[in-house]
Amino acid sequence: MIKKLPHWLLATFLLILFTACGPAKDKIRITGKFTNINDAEFYVYSEDGAFDGIDTIKISDGKFSYERTLAHPAVLTLLYPNFTQTYVVAEPGHEIKIKGEASKIGESEVTGTEQNELLSDFRIKHIADAPHPQRLAAAQFIRENSTTLAAVAVFRKYFANVQTTDATQALPLLNLLKKAQPRERAIAHLEATFRPLLQTATGQPIPSFSCQTLNGRTVTPQTFKGKNLVIAFTATWQTDSRALLVSLHRKLTTMPGKWQCLVISLDTNPNALTASLKSDSITCPVVCDAQAFNSPLVQTFGIHYVPSLMLVNAQGHIIQRDVTKIEDAQL
């Protein structure tokens, strides 16, 4: 006669079985299958420092399995073979399961945890939407799920990691996330990295600053009040910077009085900078604190690469930023 197992014993057995099958409590696992892909690879990394570097996930006969140690829950970025980018929420002790098809890899179904299923449902539902409806839906998702890392992932995709964003929409959402998750590292990273960028987005007023030029002159936004201003972020160690600055100088000489110019250099050697400026006959005010991207002034403007032009109208509002070619500048 077969006796029925006590409920507590059955529950213990199932728990042991689940633990044995899943990753260790300090590890995450990503497994899955892509149809119509044989052997390939894709990549996983953390934009907010949950781990260093980029890991490679090998696909063999369409299947893959990846495991690594993770100290705390985090938003991870997956870069698929066709360079489609998506986000997952990795939680230590849990497995993420991905299932998709090669030609529609961006629509892959992600399951295994509640947050990833929430993200996957949202992504699949809105993947065919135009950008504006997508952002409206993303904003609503963030408001409804502000205490989750899934909301952080949606903010990254639709408001942070995009070429242009509506700062009037993005900043309140970032504030909401910060209030809902004040100790979350991913949000601290967004604060440090993207808030300056959002605060200096097109349509925003030029940020407050005070700095000294190489000639010892103090410049602030008031210095250029009532005037159109182009700010050039350059560095002599970057090959395209010199050409852009020379092109800008030539362009402005053809339209005297219409635009003021300020150069903010990311050089670490002021002497090399001075020699280059003299050689190219650049006479506009130049600021250089020799701190490159660690410069508080550069960080205030949310600059992440050079060369780059920022255009400010006479009313003190940014009308263009991140311009890398003189022909694209609305001068």
Which domains are assigned to the chain?
A: 22-125 (2.60.40.1120), 129-199 (no CATH), 211-328 (3.40.30.10)
Residues 27, 90: contact at Cβ < 8 Å? no
DSSP single-letter state for residue 159: I
Beta strands 109-111 and 95-101 are antiparallel
Number of other CB atoms surrounding residue 213 within 10 Å: 15
DSSP single-letter state for residue 265: E
Give the CA distances from residue 170 to residues 136, 180, 191, 205, 279, in Å, rounded to whole numbers and listed in that order: 11, 15, 12, 16, 43
Residues 239, 318: contact at Cβ < 8 Å? no
pLDDT tens for the 331 residues of the chain, in order: 445 555 545 544 544 444 456 788 999 999 999 999 999 999 999 988 899 999 999 999 999 999 999 999 999 999 998 888 899 999 999 999 999 999 999 889 999 999 999 999 999 999 999 999 999 999 999 999 999 999 999 999 999 877 667 788 899 999 999 999 999 999 999 988 888 888 898 899 999 999 999 999 999 999 999 999 999 999 998 889 999 999 999 999 999 999 999 999 999 988 889 999 999 999 999 999 999 988 999 989 988 889 999 999 999 999 999 999 999 999 9
Q: How buried is residue 185: exposed, middle or buried, by Cβ count under 10 Å (0-12/13-18/19+)?
A: middle
Number of other CB atoms surrounding residue 80 within 10 Å: 22
Q: If residue 20 lies in a helix (H) or strand (E), which one and from where to where?
A: helix 7-21
Residues linked to residue 100 through DSSP beta bridges, in sequence order = 34
Say which residues have a Cβ less than 8 Å from residue 111's Cβ, sequence separation at least 6: 96, 97, 99, 117, 120
Closest CA to 211 of 278, 248, 262: 262
191 token code pair: 């604060």
Alpha helices in 226-269 (DSSP H): 239-253
**Range 21-47 burial, b when 16+ CB lie within 10 A, else e:** eebeeebbbbbbbbeebeebebebebb
CA distance 142 to 186: 15
